Amino acid sequence: MSLSAEDHDYFLALQTRTGWGKTLVRFLEWCLPDRPVRVLDVGAGPALASALAAQRGHWVVGVDRDPLMLAQSLHPTVALADAGALPFGAGAFDLTLASNLLYLLPDPLPALREMARVTAPGGYVAVLNPSERMSVAAARALADARGLTGLARETLLNLAARAEACYRWSPADLGALFARVGLRLVRTRTAMRPGLLRWALAEAVSSGRV
């Protein structure tokens, strides 16, 4: 069952008022250009980032490998696809983004290589992942300081536990990772005080390579 237009508007407004929704809004404000461009949202989930980018006037496609995630998509233009085999031609997008995806993959290089491939030369890849400061202890301290309870607290601690088990990236780590697939790190910043998330923007300077 698909969502009605009214339901889309309601759930979009609801999600943007959550802590994660507000973080995602700020991330998109940071990485999206002012002029309309072609955007690919990889690992889109319910396509919140896709919907938010479209609201800002961009042409957006969201992809995710989980059909259940896409079944209640907040954005009408989504496709079922794996991040390691994107069904688009080389240079099809001006900006390719992924939020809370790469750090969960056993090997992020295949997905990042595909993101670089479908990004036009001179275009950009933007990613949001846990920073080198993320840990369960740091997340618990933040949750305590903010008085988080219930699902909000559980979600934050789960993110931290997964980050400890998978990847947490510093600027140097990301720069080296990007360089392996033909991307050049342009800028990075942290979010979620005291800097538990890291945003990074990289320019597509050559075709993806190992």
Residues 168, 134 contacting (CB under 8 angstroms): yes
Q: Is the pLDDT of residue 6 over 60?
A: no
Percent residues over pLDDT 90 in the chain:
76
Q: Quick one: pLDDT band at residue 34, thresholds 50, 70, 90?
A: very high
Q: Quick one: pLDDT band at residue 3, thresholds 50, 70, 90?
A: very low
CB within 8 Å of 188: residues ≥ 6 apart = 171, 174, 198, 199, 200, 201
Q: Is the pLDDT of residue 22 over 60?
A: yes
Rounded mean pLDDT of 69-78? 88
**C-alpha to C-alpha distance for 83 and 124, rounded to whole angstroms:** 17
Where b means 16+ CB within 10 Å and e means fewer, 36-61 reads ebbbbbbbbbbbbbbbbbbeeebebb
Q: Is the pLDDT of residue 46 over 90?
A: no
Mean pLDDT of the chain: 90
Q: In what order do the strands lie in the sheet with 119-130?
A: 78-80, 59-64, 38-42, 93-99, 119-130, 197-204, 183-191
User: Is the overall model pTM greater than 0.85, yes or no?
Assistant: yes
User: For residue 206, what pLDDT is reported?
Assistant: 66
> Which amino acid is located at 148 in the chain?
L
Backbone angles phi, psi at 178, to 5 degrees: -60, -40
Residues 97, 71 contacting (CB under 8 angstroms): no
Residues 83, 108 contacting (CB under 8 angstroms): no
Q: What structural domains and CATH numbers belong to the chain?
A: 5-133+168-204 (3.40.50.150)
**C-alpha to C-alpha distance for 16 and 87, rounded to whole angstroms:** 29
Q: How many CB atoms lie within 10 A of CB 173?
A: 16
What tens digit of pLDDT does each residue of 78-116 get?
999 999 999 999 999 999 999 999 999 999 999 999 999
